[in-house]
Amino acid sequence: MNETGHAHPRFVWAMGLTNAAYGYSYAAVLVTMPQVMAAHGVSEPVIAGLTALSSLASLATFLLAPVLDTLVSRRAWALGLGMAVVALTLALLGVPPTGPLVAPLMMADALALVMLTTALGGWLGAALPKTMDDTIGTWFAVGNAAGFGLGALTQHWLITALPAPWGLVAVGVAASLPLALQVLIPSPDLGLKAVRESFGDLGRDLAVLVRQPLVLRIVVMFALPCAAFTLTNAFGGLGPDFHVSAGLVDVANGLGATLTGVAAALLARVLLRFVPAPLLYLGIGVVGAAFTAIVIGLPHTPAIYVAAVIGENMAQSIAQVSQNAIQFASIRRGSPIAASQFGLLTTAALLPYTYMLALDGWGYHLVGNVAGSFWMDAGLSLVACLILLVPVLHWMRSGQLTAPDDPLGEALPA
């Protein structure tokens, strides 16, 4: 039992691995379908435009996340969204890659995927004691990284090497397996009203949510590009700048990035024993910016390319673990609007991924080579971290970044 009288849940690591359903199917949107389209002659600008539209569609999560706190149980929402994601992913990989259905399916799948991870995050945040925040934050990131890596490495081979429809069947089975782990997650200690509360009460509670200083502080932290490390999404197109073969690009950004991400997430779990999550978030932002700047001055060789991919993915994974821990720590146990809160914070965390890729590309064009992208990324990240340093230290000292470690069984006060 912990100090609040609640038994410590078992298999928290396996609960976090439920997020592998999100990572695995997101690989179909960001990696597998673009590969298929490229093999069928779709131009790179068109592919980039479709992936950008998918990312923009996922930002609608906050507008839709409040419904996850109404109507049915959190378990039902998570399972239903998981099944919807499997169906959308199979539909996406099964339609003609040059047809008109690709764009709407990519956008719908991306939105459903972020809704799924929001449903899981809100459920876990409300159901688990606050002593579990660092642990679940770590394994939530591990699930994402491992699922995404497995999808990126196997989906294209499965749907092209196996006879139809067995490739899609194999992808569907793999996408469905993490859903079985949801049975391990306890139900929040909530009354019927909290699970099936009216939309009128929900609107009132959301008005309280967006006015909560704790929530707004974290929104500011995540919306600034202190530790986004969006260069990890650009490395696939930077191989020629480092004279790297296409095969090495695939290995570095597939297997290498996946193994690095999982190992770094587990390292972050150890670091969180000694460093508070907000401080780790700022610290890895500064260290990562310095690493990015150092790469600029090194020879642009294949070895440096691999080192850059590994370093940036390691930093991003540590940042995501600390980010998860901050999000979970901000949700009061038993909160009736946990998914709404998780959705708002997830949307804030996704914002740098939309504008930093554009700014990094602008830096590339300004300088005329990859150094411009690296300078833009490192400079803006460092400035953002320095802006946040003083207020975050103050918020930490005064306990203004964490929710109370006691259950909340009623709706938030007006």
- For 367, half-sphere exposure in the C-beta direction (CA atoms, 13 angstrom radius) is 14
DSSP summary character for residue 11: -
pLDDT band at 411 (very low <50, low <70, confident <90, very high): very low
Burial (CB < 10 A; 0-12, 13-18, 19+), residue 186, is middle
Which is more confident, 196 or 68? Answer: 68
Report how far residue 162's alpha carbon sits from residue 379's, in angstroms, rounded to the nearest whole number.
46
Closest by alpha carbon to 221, among 291, 141, 277, 267? 277
**Confidence check: pLDDT of 8 > 90:** no
pLDDT band at 409 (very low <50, low <70, confident <90, very high): very low
Report how far residue 298's alpha carbon sits from residue 143's, in angstroms, rounded to the nearest whole number.
33
258-280 in b/e form (b: 16+ CB < 10 A) is bebbbbbbeebbebbeebbbbbb
Which residues, 6+ apart, have CB-to-CB distance to 199 below 8 Å?
70
Average pLDDT of 55-75?
Answer: 86
DSSP summary character for residue 138: H
Average pLDDT of 306-312?
Answer: 95
CA-based diameter of the chain, in Å?
62
DSSP summary character for residue 227: S
Token code pair at residue 99: 């047809």
- pLDDT for 190 equals 53
Closest by alpha carbon to 345, among 220, 259, 211? 220
Token code pair at residue 209: 């949510």
- Give the number of residues written for the chain: 414
Tens-place pLDDT, residues 316-374: 999 999 999 999 999 988 888 888 899 999 999 989 988 888 888 888 889 988 899 99
Percent of the chain with pLDDT over 90: 61
Tens-place pLDDT, residues 122-175: 999 989 988 999 999 999 999 999 999 899 888 989 999 999 899 999 999 999
Which residues, 6+ apart, have CB-to-CB distance to 4 below 8 Å?
129, 405, 406, 407
CA torsion angle 394 399 403 404 (round to 10): -170
The residue type of 247 is G
Report how far residue 142's alpha carbon sits from residue 134's, in angstroms, rounded to the nearest whole number.
12
Distances (CA, A) of 310 to 13, 238, 261, 264, 378: 24, 14, 8, 10, 16
- pLDDT for 406 equals 65
CA angle 202, 222, 296 (to 5 degrees): 160
Taking all residues of the chain, what is their mean pLDDT, rounded to a whole number?
88
Report how far residue 26's alpha carbon sits from residue 54's, in angstroms, rounded to the nearest whole number.
10
Tens-place pLDDT, residues 179-222: 999 999 998 655 444 444 545 556 666 677 777 899 999 999 99
- pLDDT for 172 equals 97
* Helix, strand and coil percent figures for the chain, each rounded to 5: 75, 0, 25
Tokens 């938030």 -> residue: 412
Tens-place pLDDT, residues 16-47: 999 999 999 999 998 889 888 888 888 867 88
- pLDDT for 3 equals 43
Tokens 């673990």 -> residue: 321
Report how far residue 21's alpha carbon sits from residue 117's, in angstroms, rounded to the nearest whole number.
9
DSSP summary character for residue 256: I
Runs of H (alpha helix) within 95-196: 102-127, 133-161, 166-176, 192-195
Does residue 128 contact residue 12 with C-beta atoms inside 8 Å?
A: yes
Does residue 69 contact residue 336 with C-beta atoms inside 8 Å?
A: yes
The residue type of 101 is L
Tens-place pLDDT, residues 96-118: 999 999 999 999 999 999 999 99
Report how far residue 135's alpha carbon sits from residue 220's, in angstroms, rounded to the nearest whole number.
24
Report how far residue 183's alpha carbon sits from residue 125's, in angstroms, rounded to the nearest whole number.
16
Which is more confident, 144 or 2? Answer: 144
- pLDDT for 404 equals 80
- pLDDT for 262 equals 95
* Helices 74-94 and 166-176: angle between axes, nearest 10 degrees: 160
- pLDDT for 191 equals 44
pTM value is 0.86
Closest by alpha carbon to 405, among 338, 344, 331, 314? 331
